[in-house]
Amino acid sequence: MLPKKHRISRKEFSSVLTKSLLRHSNLFSLRVGALSPDKAPHLAVVVSKKVSSTAAGRNLLKRRSRDIFQKLIPRLKPGTAYILFFKKEAASLSFSKLKEGIEALFTTHGKLS
């Protein structure tokens, strides 16, 4: 689980959805929004029923992505909010492929140092 200081609140979630940049890859969509510059980076993961019809499958993807995020937090830009949306193609990936895909998405869009 992500530490509370790195989670997006409901209020922040709606503002990030409306005022953010949208980036895509084959496996994910990433929304990147601004927070106050002194805040730690905030993260959220969204897995819809279209991606995995079972709650167990959706929860597995969320747990795996949060574990990957834990290792990326030191490299993320402070004062930024990230919302990661999964696409259907990501549901069948192994952990290592999922990690590669998430890191590639963040790297190509200039958010990792």
Please provide the average confidence, as pLDDT, over all residues in the chain.
Answer: 89
d(CA 60, CA 80): 25
Contact call for residues 87 and 20 (beta carbons, < 8 A): no
Task: Pick 15 or 62 by higher pLDDT.
Answer: 62
Between 3.30.230.10, 3.40.190.10, 3.30.390.10, 3.30.56.10, what CATH number should domain 4-108 receive? 3.30.230.10
Q: What is the pTM of this model?
A: 0.88
Is it the case that residue 109 has pLDDT exceeding 70? no
Largest CA distance in the chain: 39
For 75: left if phi > 0, alpha if psi spans -120 to 50, otherwise beta; the answer is alpha
Domain ranges of the chain: 4-108
Tens of pLDDT, residues 25-64: 899 999 998 888 888 999 999 999 999 999 999 999 999 9
Q: Give yes or no for residue 111 having a pLDDT over 70.
A: no
Tokens 């940049």 belong to residue = 21
